Amino acid sequence: MIKVKCMVSRYDETITKPPFKTLQIDEMEVYQPETDHLGEEFYDILSKECMERGYRFKFYTLSSKEGFKYNVVVY
C-alpha cells in the first residue's frame, strides 16, 4: 500500500451557479492499494476515513493543489 495525502473539501454554498468552487476544510493521509480493481477498495478506505471524521463522502478527484494527490469532496 502507498500512503497518499488528500485534501478534504466541500462546495462553497454561497456560489449557486456554475462554475462551482470547493473550499478546503481538512486534510488526511490514507493508504492507497497498489492493485485495486476499479478503485473499489480505495473508495471504501476514503469513505470510512471520512465517516470517522464526521463527514459524508461524496467523491474524489485528482488534486490540482501542490502537496496533495487527491481532493476528497464531502457533504
* Per-residue confidence in pLDDT tens, the chain, 75 aa: 899 999 999 999 999 898 889 999 999 999 999 998 888 999 999 999 999 999 999 999 999 999 999 999 999
Region of 67 (left: φ > 0; alpha: ψ -120 to 50; beta: rest) is left
Domain enclosing residue 19, as ranges: 2-74
pTM of the model: 0.87
Domains of the chain: total = 1
Counting every residue written for the chain, the total comes to: 75
| Unique residue bearing C-alpha cell 488534486 | 63
- The pLDDT of residue 39 is 87
Which amino acid would we find at residue 72?
A: V
- The pLDDT of residue 37 is 85
CA dist., res. 25 & res. 17, Å (int): 21
- The pLDDT of residue 51 is 97
**For the chain, what is the total number of helices (H) and then of strands (E)?**
1, 4
